[in-house]
Chains A and B, each alone.
Chain A
Amino acid sequence: MSTQHLPEHPDFLWRNPEPKSSYDAVIVGGGGHGLATAYFLAKNHGMTNIAVLEKGWLAGGNMARNTTIIRSNYLWDESAAIYEHALKLWEILPEELEYDFLFSQRGVMNLAHTLGDVRESIRRVGANKLNGVDAEWLDPQQVKELCPILNIRDNIRYPVMGATYQPRAGIAKHDHVAWAFARKCDEMGVDIIQNCEVTGFLKDGDRVVGVKTSRGTINTEKVGLCAAGHSSVLAEMAGFQLPIQSHPLQALVSELHEPVHPTVVMSNHVHVYVSQAHKGELVMGAGVDSYNGYGQRGSFHVIEQQMAAAVELFPIFARAHVLRTWGGIVDTTLDASPIVGLTPVENMFVNCGWGTGGFKGTPAAGLTFAHTIATGAPHALNKPFSLERFETGALIDEHGAAAVAH
């Protein structure tokens, strides 16, 4: 058996233009969400005189630091709707973007280790089915059939008592996704400007009219914030607050191995999630550090706990070597759901709070946020995720299904 080869990249990816003095819209943040937003602004709304401003390099934030798990098996109707819409877009995007980013629908299992987990999981399978999301409940034997290297013996501290399974879920090659969006944006005339940090905003009364950047001032009619872990820093510059806390979240990969891990396995309870990358690395994610932080690294004891869980669940990992670890800064909300919509500043819009799970949402975040920026009003799918929900109390409490406790 050999592992899968990476596809060739197209000859041309994108230009590196100088910033113009004005645009119809400026997107802050060149991660997946910013690029997807620009893509759908151009494609669905004909807005091509727009720029994506990125303080570092394209997709250098969480976009290419995440563990690339894509699924839509969320509990509440609002979440199921937006994540399932994203999954449907993932299914057509490689063709639409003319770029193979190795979207692999190898299925995702979410393990249950306690009676509470079992009840919650079976409830979620039911909720998923009612929302048209593919979901099944597996007993330990069925879990073992799907992923033979999993230890289902009951003499461990948290034995596997079953799992939810979403067959259409999977993984994609995250940096290629960003490049695919960037290339199409560029083709449609969008300026992607790297090494351009937004340092402030120009306002006329309550309305935003421009952005200050490390490469000069840019006038614009509309601003969309897609800055993940830094959204509250930007909001403060614009004069409002967000109910967001930024936390470090880390991941790691092993050296390359023969294919041993055919699906994606996640465990919320003992806290590890594992898949095998196309080239053969075992990719593993952990939980967030408990404290607020902007350093792109995580605590060592979190890796220790994650590895202990991994080795108990997958005994054959005991002799695998860790190749590298890294961290990203995730933006968490108290109901573990994103914030996408209007802000107290006129013509400024925000997309943030995707926390530990926003990669899977990238296409739907882009599509709905582009709608909001272009029309000045929420899209049906992002309407429930407005900033007002913290005042009205219409929270979307997804702690159970968000997968990484935060």
Chain B
Amino acid sequence: MLLIPCPNCGPRDETEFHYGGQAHVPYPENPNELSDTEWSRYLFYRENPKGVFAERWVHSTGCRQWFNMLRDTVSYDIQAVYPMGVPRPAAPLPAAAVTGTASTGPASTTPLSTTAPEGATK
């Protein structure tokens, strides 16, 4: 069971969240110009790394806000939590840098989760 540090509510049990798959998959800029191959890439192909993965989660039974997370798909260590719309952090931090500190919410001192997702502030 994962203990997920929601940037707004702090660490909560995995059962409060829903998974949203790979983060940073932009909608095609010119959909009308896409070939079938390009469409298939956009619709069906996602990264599936054995290691650090940038993914989206929504805190469905809490603040109901989406956020991004870097998680290791082998050790399940959560390495960073950061707002939607923010680029993927360059280098994964050691897990200790995020777990346990995000509980302070939007004003967290965690380097990679300094701002709440768009619209998350009350």
Contact = CB atoms under 8 A, between A and B. Distances in A.
Interface string A214-248: 00000000000000001011000000011111100
Contacts of B14: 299, 301
Contact of A245 (B18, B37, B46): B46
The secondary-structure label for the interface of chain A is: loop
Nearest to B35: A391
A206 to B, nearest CB: 17
B90 interface: no
B36 A290 contact: no
Contact of A233 (B2, B36, B50): B50
Contact of A391 (B21, B37, B74): B37
Given A233-B50, A299-B14, A301-B1, A292 B36 contact: no
A241 B49 CA distance: 11
B15 A241 contact: no
Nearest to A300: B1
A243 B1 contact: no
B27 interface: no
Nearest to A292: B73
A390 B53 contact: no
A334 B74 contact: no
Interface in A102-152: none
Contact of B45 (A230, A243, A290, A294): A243
A232 B76 contact: no
A186 B43 CA distance: 43
A334 B15 contact: no
Interface residues of B, number: 24
B55 A299 contact: no
Contact of A293 (B39, B43, B44, B76): B76
B26 to A, nearest CB: 17
A334 B48 contact: no
A205 interface: no
A294 B55 contact: no
A293 B44 CA distance: 18
Most buried by A among B21, B48, B75: B48
A233 B50 CA distance: 7
A295 interface: yes
A246 B18 contact: no
Interface string B1-33: 110000000000011001101000000000000
B40 interface: yes
Interface string B52-82: 0101000000000000000101111000000
Nearest to A297: B76
Given A242-B48, A300-B1, 14 more contacts: A230-B50, A243-B40, A243-B45, A245-B48, A291-B19, A292-B48, A292-B55, A292-B73, A293-B73, A293-B76, A390-B40, A391-B36, A391-B37, A393-B36
Which 9 residue pairs across A and B have the least CB separation, nearest first? A243-B44, A290-B19, A232-B48, A391-B40, A390-B40, A390-B44, A291-B19, A391-B36, A294-B74
24 contacts: A232-B48, A241-B45, A242-B48, A243-B44, A243-B46, A244-B48, A245-B46, A290-B18, A290-B19, A293-B76, A294-B73, A294-B74, A295-B73, A295-B74, A295-B76, A299-B1, A300-B1, A301-B15, A334-B43, A390-B43, A390-B44, A391-B37, A391-B40, A393-B36
